[in-house]
């Protein structure tokens, strides 16, 4: 096996301790010594003078559940120093899944997480059905990094109730008991906990709400009880009207379980300071073990109207998302549909047209970088009609840039430097046609450490290693 001696590095060990000059010996993949080491026989030596050596980074919020079948390197996360990922977030995944329900599960991943349907159908090797079988498959496959997995609420709900029932009604007592058994089975097999979502934007199979959104608080509590019975575990909850951070904090306190909650973004909960106020309220609940996830950069989408995820909460767009992709241009051209959709946009996405600009276009190159609001004012048309007409002109290939959240640098800095939060919500493996924030370690180090000096290098490394671990 390989025997390495890494000389003269600045070792930043992930504990928050000051960096120090040291050598590191590695035998058979394990660190065996750190310090000023003398000659070591038969070692391959690498001089790291002038370089920082630190633990690999942990990304606690990814969606590599399917990608791991065709990309053992988990790109591009590994390009940015990530060596451990957590999958199964937001209640989504691919196990447990009955063979008859595979199409429904994959369609949900397509609509909610922006995954290519052909890639899913071609790439996933369905040699498993249960969650323990899925974990065995992950362990068996070659991987460039470590994988931890939540058992996802929407998939266990689909498994217990079927695709249609799980997305349209409350569960019966027997169905909740079935889901509890699935959670216990997953925890016994090595799951790190349970994930769920109440986010209104999460619309899946046939344009219906994802199954976890149909769960009442009692069902979610029952699943967390099943997790807690294993004596370990953490829950991941994506916010929604029924489960805002205050309720999540109370649930954590009552059940005695840690919960990570996503996501605490500037502009999502009101004006300046609203996210910080929410953090204070959550942390004021006695006994709560709650870790809100924060994102270290602006949330910027690139979107085509072929896959209009940004507008998923707009009722009229639910109609569009329920159609096959090749039929969406037809509904966008329909004047009656436009009349229904137009007034809904600003109710769901206030200030949307100032946040949306033309990013990639062949037919309208002169508009690149310009906001819909500005161009529409010049042309004396409604920005919504402009959006649709530009897209239709290019068979829905026009790509738009959307600054969604986290655009307040002052409040974002305060959230990032508050150790009651954890770095997360980067969505690596999802929305790959819209966003790529798996580069968050590079951004944190380059922007917030080097350029802004908002935190020390040692603290930033701890935030990405020791703290989430």
Is a pLDDT exceeding 90 seen at residue 206? no
Is a pLDDT exceeding 70 seen at residue 51? yes
Is a pLDDT exceeding 70 seen at residue 349? no
Residues constituting the chain: 469
Residue, of 343 and 136, whose pLDDT is higher: 136
Q: What is the pLDDT of residue 210?
A: 96
CB-facing half-sphere around the CA of 299: CA atoms within 13 A: 18
Strand pairing report for 259-262 and 290-294: parallel
Is a pLDDT exceeding 80 seen at residue 261? yes
The residue ranges of every structural domain in the chain are 3-53, 57-298+407-464, 301-404
If you average pLDDT over residues 218-235, what whole number do you get? 97
Statement: the pTM of the whole predicted model exceeds 0.75:
yes
Is a pLDDT exceeding 70 seen at residue 79? yes
E strands along 155-262, which residues? 193-197, 234-238, 259-262
Angle, CA 229 vertex, CA 222 and CA 426 arms, to 5°: 70
pLDDT one-digit tens code per residue, 56-68: 999 999 999 999 9
Strand pairing report for 399-405 and 356-360: antiparallel
Is a pLDDT exceeding 90 seen at residue 212? yes
Q: What is the pLDDT of residue 347?
A: 63
Angle, CA 404 vertex, CA 403 and CA 410 arms, to 5°: 85
CATH class of 57-298+407-464: alpha beta
Looking at residue 170, what DSSP letter applies? Answer: P
Do residues 166 and 224 lie in contact, with contact meaning Cβ atoms separated by under 8 Å? no
Query: What distances in angstroms separate CA 187 from CA 84, 93, 212, 272, one per listed residue?
Result: 19, 16, 19, 40
164/124 Cα distance (integer angstroms): 23
Is a pLDDT exceeding 70 seen at residue 350? no
Q: What is the pLDDT of residue 1?
A: 67
99/110 Cα distance (integer angstroms): 18
Residue, of 136 and 344, whose pLDDT is higher: 136
Q: What is the pLDDT of residue 207?
A: 84
170/211 Cα distance (integer angstroms): 10
Query: Which of 181-195, 292-306, 323-337 is most confident?
Result: 181-195
Mean pLDDT of the chain: 93
Strand pairing report for 3-11 and 20-27: antiparallel
pLDDT one-digit tens code per residue, 93-136: 999 999 999 999 999 999 888 888 999 999 999 999 999 999 99
Query: Which of 191-195, 350-354, 355-359 is most confident?
Result: 191-195
pLDDT over 90 percentage in the chain: 77
Quote the crossing angle between the two packed helices 102-113 and 153-161, to the nearest 10°: 150
CATH class of 3-53: mainly beta
pLDDT one-digit tens code per residue, 364-376: 999 999 999 999 9
């Amino acid at each position: 096996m390989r025997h390495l001696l890494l000389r003269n590095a600045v070792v930043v060990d992930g504990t928050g301790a000051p960096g120090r000059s040291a050598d590191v010996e590695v035998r058979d993949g394990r660190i065996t010594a750190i310090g000023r080491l003398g000659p070591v026989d038969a070692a391959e030596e690498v001089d790291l003078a002038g370089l920082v050596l630190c633990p690999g980074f942990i990304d606690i919020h990814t969606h590599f559940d399917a990608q791991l079948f065709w990309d053992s390197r988990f790109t591009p996360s590994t390009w940015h120093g990530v060596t451990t990922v957590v999958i199964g977030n937001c209640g989504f995944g691919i196990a447990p899944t009955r063979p008859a329900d595979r199409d429904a599960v994959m369609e949900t991943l397509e609509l909610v997480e922006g995954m290519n349907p052909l890639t899913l159908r071609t790439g996933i090797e369905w040699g498993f059905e249960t969650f323990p079988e899925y974990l065995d498959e992950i362990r068996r496959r070659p991987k460039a990094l470590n994988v931890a997995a939540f058992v996802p609420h929407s998939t266990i709900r689909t498994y217990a109730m079927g695709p249609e029932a799980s997305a349209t009604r409350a569960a019966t007592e027997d169905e909740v008991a079935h889901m509890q058994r699935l959670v216990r089975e997953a925890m016994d097999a090595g799951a790190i906990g349970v994930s769920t979502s109440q986010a209104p934007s999460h619309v899946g199979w046939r344009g219906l709400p994802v199954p976890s959104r149909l769960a009442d608080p009692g069902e979610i509590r029952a699943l967390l009880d099943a997790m807690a019975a294993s004596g370990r575990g953490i829950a991941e909850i994506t916010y929604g009207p029924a489960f805002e951070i205050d309720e999540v904090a109370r649930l954590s306190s009552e059940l005695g379980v840690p919960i990570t909650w996503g996501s605490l973004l500037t502009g999502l909960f009101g004006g300046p300071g609203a996210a910080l106020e929410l953090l204070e309220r959550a942390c004021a609940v006695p006994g709560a073990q709650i870790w809100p996830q924060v994102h270290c950069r602006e949330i910027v989408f690139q979107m085509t109207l072929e896959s209009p995820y940004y507008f998923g909460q707009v009722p009229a767009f639910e109609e569009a998302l329920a159609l096959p992709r090749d039929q969406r241009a037809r509904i966008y051209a329909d004047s009656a549909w436009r009349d229904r959709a137009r007034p809904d946009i600003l109710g769901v996405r206030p200030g949307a047209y100032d946040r949306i600009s033309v990013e990639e276009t062949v037919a309208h190159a002169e508009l690149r970088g310009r906001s819909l609001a500005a161009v529409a004012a010049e042309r004396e048309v409604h920005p919504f009609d402009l959006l649709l007409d530009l897209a239709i002109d290019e068979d829905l290939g026009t790509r738009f840039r959307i600054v969604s959240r986290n655009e307040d640098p002052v409040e974002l800095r305060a959230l990032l430097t508050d150790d009651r939060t954890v770095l997360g919500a980067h969505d690596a493996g999802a929305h790959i046609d819209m966003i790529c924030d798996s580069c968050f370690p590079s951004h944190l180090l380059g922007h917030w450490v080097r350029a802004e000096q908002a935190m020390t290098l040692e603290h930033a490394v701890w935030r990405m290693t020791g703290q989430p671990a």
